[in-house]
A and B are shown apart, each in its own frame.
Chain A
Amino acid sequence: MGYVIAFMVLPVAIIATYSFFQRGQYGGIVYSLTLDNFARALDSLYVGILGTSVALSSTVTLLALLIGFPTALAITKLQPQHQNIALVLVILPFWTNFLIRTYAWIVLLSSEGLLNQGLLGLGIISDPLALLYTPGAVVMGLLYAYLPLMVLPIYAALSRIDPSLREAAIDLGASRFTALRQVVFPLAIPGTLVGCVFVFVPSVGNFIVPELLGGGKTVMVGNLIRDQFLKARDWPFGSVLAIAMVVMLVLLFALQARITKRVLGQG
């Protein structure tokens, strides 16, 4: 309990306090109360950036789900000892620094990079494709970074399902697909939602990928907050944006908990 207060409640409380004060001309906080920072956050410029972030992160989450669910399902079909190897392979990228993995994508995708040079060499394309420094590259980088966070909770949910339930469905005449759709998938919904939240949350706050793979041409809310603290020296406004993110994520968790409860209640 003590560390929850020290490491979670206090920092958020400090940020929340900052958001009601004014910025000093050269940084820091001037302790006179104002609500201007909140009004500013509703400016279409910043709402637009939030919209971009949510749209990109939702795309990432959806793609992670489409790739992650079949991957997790396939792993549960393996022999137990092979399952462990497969899970280690899923986590393996985390053993390398995130920044280095992101730079690796630059080496792969740049116009002088491996992919373009390979395609040029094979005569498939005549001019290098502009793969890097696009919103697509940002989605690609985030998807790659957070896909394991989708696979693991879905795997955990799937491996907990009693195999006899699926066998019973098939014995009663359901096709394999129907059994998957009507028996396995509903039982995996809570784990799937956890995976979606795990992917969406870090994606929406990420600022390294938009900077490196987006070439600084795509601004996400994480970049905006980072810039308020490190470049614009506007801590109060940065705090408002950070608080807005926290509120949004709490709502997201509440939604996830509610859906999970409903699904389990029906089961």
Chain B
Amino acid sequence: MSRTTISLSVLVGSTLFLGACATGGGSEPLDPNADLSAQNLVVSNWAGYYPEDLATAFEEAVGSSMTITNHATNEEIMAKLTAGGDSGIDIAFVSGQFAQALANQDLIYELDKSLIPNLANLAPEADNLSYDPGNKFSVPYAWGTTGICYRSDLMAGNEPTSWMDLLRPDDMYKGKVTALATERWLMLPAQKALGYSVNTQDEGEMNEVKDLLLEAKGNLLAYDDTTFYSRLVSGEAVMTVAWDGWCNYGTIENPDIKFVVPSEGSDLWVDTMVVLKSSKNKEAAHAFINFILEPTNHAWVAENILYKVPNQAAMDAVLPGLVGDFPNMGFTAAQLLGYEGLVDLGNAAALYTRLATEITSG
């Protein structure tokens, strides 16, 4: 039975060959009628960034079997994808600037949008992201910004409004501040405080950034990418550099934990889905992206991990129940687009790495 289906789909596929070429979706044509149940999808995502039953739900809805592997960081998945040869991964979840790097290396597939009708659910603003204008190679999964997560009760009357409030804290807050250690966000508070771009490649500007961060290090409790919100809950810290979604995890436990984007502005980070060029299951991969973009599926991210999703329909459905407790969930797409999109640094990445080492070891 399944063999007949496959040969049938090959036939149908070859008749559509010319048409697909004409639309110029990608390097090779996709078959809209491919037998998805014959495709076995391998997806690499961050642990905890998707529903536990995602594989079963997708198999039931679409028919393809699916394996999910986890990566801990962008760097880890990039190492796998750029090692050469077929990584065996069909879909990877990576941040926008890494999707850009993958596209520059010709490792990801230019999406065939005719197979992803649910792209229509995305907010119009989500089509204009600096790392991949027009979402040619990537589809945004979640987005947000970086700011200061703080204890409004312990800082009453002194609530932070500027990055400088964190970089040069009042005496009473010294030693009760944490910062992010991942390079781009380690630099961000000082870049914004000094009025520079989060994507600057200017060595002079970056040296000023380094000096300011070295000065700020003296008042830091610790660099902390993962547990800063629990330090706020315990009162060990009063002010932390934080991603919006993660700050919400503190707010769940203590409503006095609040999030603010400092007046100098911040970044727009986007986590995306990309289809690898080496994938042999591209039709199922497109079906997967389409499946995620279903408002009910995409809303899971907002509801369960309190990250904003660029899916207008999904946000409209869950926002009324969330925005009261977690005000930053209410940031609009337009507001987020007002922040500066992170893009790949290319060769300047080495400069950032070196300065980061100078700062953390200094």
Same complex: yes
A: residues with CB less than 8 A from B are 24-28, 45, 48-49, 52, 110-112, 130, 132-133, 215-219, 224, 227, 229-234
CB-defined contacts of B182 to chain A, threshold 8 Å: 231
Report yes or no: B361 in contact with A27, Cβ–Cβ below 8 A: no
Report yes or no: B83 in contact with A110, Cβ–Cβ below 8 A: no
Per DSSP, are chain A's interface residues mostly helix, strand or loop, or mixed?
loop
Q: A26-B101, A45-B357 are in contact. Are A231 and B75 (CB under 8 A)?
A: yes
Specify the chain B residue showing the minimal Cβ separation from A133. Answer: B222
B220 touches which of A215, A219, A227 (Cβ 8 Å): A215
Interface code B168-196, partner A: CB below 8 Å = 1, 0 otherwise? 00000001000001110000000000000
Report yes or no: A216 in contact with B360, Cβ–Cβ below 8 A: yes
- Residue B347 CB within 8 A of the other chain: yes
- Residue B336 CB within 8 A of the other chain: no
B: residues with CB less than 8 A from A are 73, 75-76, 78-79, 82-84, 101-102, 105, 175, 181-183, 217, 220-224, 234-236, 346-347, 349-350, 353-354, 357-358, 360-361
- A227 CA / B78 CA spacing, docked (Å): 14
How far does the Cβ of A117 sit from chain B's closest Cβ, in whole Å?
A: 11
CB-defined contacts of A231 to chain B, threshold 8 Å: 73, 75, 182-183, 353
A216 touches which of B76, B84, B105, B181 (Cβ 8 Å): B181
Report yes or no: A219 in contact with B78, Cβ–Cβ below 8 A: no
Report yes or no: B217 in contact with A217, Cβ–Cβ below 8 A: yes
B82 touches which of A27, A111, A224 (Cβ 8 Å): A27
How far does the Cβ of B283 sit from chain A's closest Cβ, in whole Å?
A: 27
Counting from the closest, the 3 A-B pairs by CB-CB distance are A215-B222, A216-B223, A219-B361
Residue of A27, A52, A132, A217 with most chain B CB atoms under a 10 A cut-off: A217
Report yes or no: A217 in contact with B223, Cβ–Cβ below 8 A: yes
Specify the chain A residue showing the minimal Cβ separation from B102. Answer: A26
Q: List 27 A-B contacts (CB under 8 A).
A: A25-B347, A26-B82, A26-B101, A27-B75, A27-B82, A28-B79, A28-B82, A45-B358, A45-B361, A48-B361, A112-B235, A133-B222, A215-B223, A216-B181, A216-B360, A217-B217, A219-B357, A219-B360, A224-B357, A227-B353, A229-B79, A230-B73, A230-B75, A231-B183, A233-B79, A234-B350, A234-B353
Per DSSP, are chain B's interface residues mostly helix, strand or loop, or mixed?
helix
Q: A28-B82, A233-B79 are in contact. Are A110 and B358 (CB under 8 A)?
A: no
CB-defined contacts of A227 to chain B, threshold 8 Å: 353, 357
Residue of B75, B82, B222, B353 with most chain A CB atoms under a 10 A cut-off: B222
Specify the chain B residue showing the minimal Cβ separation from A212. Answer: B222
Specify the chain A residue showing the minimal Cβ separation from B347. Answer: A25
CB-defined contacts of B175 to chain A, threshold 8 Å: 130
How far does the Cβ of A185 sit from chain B's closest Cβ, in whole Å?
A: 38
Specify the chain A residue showing the minimal Cβ separation from B74. Answer: A231
Report yes or no: B358 in contact with A26, Cβ–Cβ below 8 A: no
Report yes or no: A52 in contact with B361, Cβ–Cβ below 8 A: yes
- A217 CA / B361 CA spacing, docked (Å): 6
CB-defined contacts of B78 to chain A, threshold 8 Å: 26-27, 233
- A115 CA / B181 CA spacing, docked (Å): 27
- A179 CA / B170 CA spacing, docked (Å): 60
Report yes or no: B353 in contact with A216, Cβ–Cβ below 8 A: no
Specify the chain B residue showing the minimal Cβ separation from A28. Answer: B82
How far does the Cβ of B211 sit from chain A's closest Cβ, in whole Å?
A: 15
How far does the Cβ of B231 sit from chain A's closest Cβ, in whole Å?
A: 8
CB-defined contacts of A216 to chain B, threshold 8 Å: 181, 222-224, 360
CB-defined contacts of B224 to chain A, threshold 8 Å: 215-216
CB-defined contacts of B353 to chain A, threshold 8 Å: 227, 231-232, 234
Q: A28-B83, A231-B73, A234-B353 are in contact. Are A217 and B236 (CB under 8 A)?
A: no
CB-defined contacts of B75 to chain A, threshold 8 Å: 27, 230-231, 233
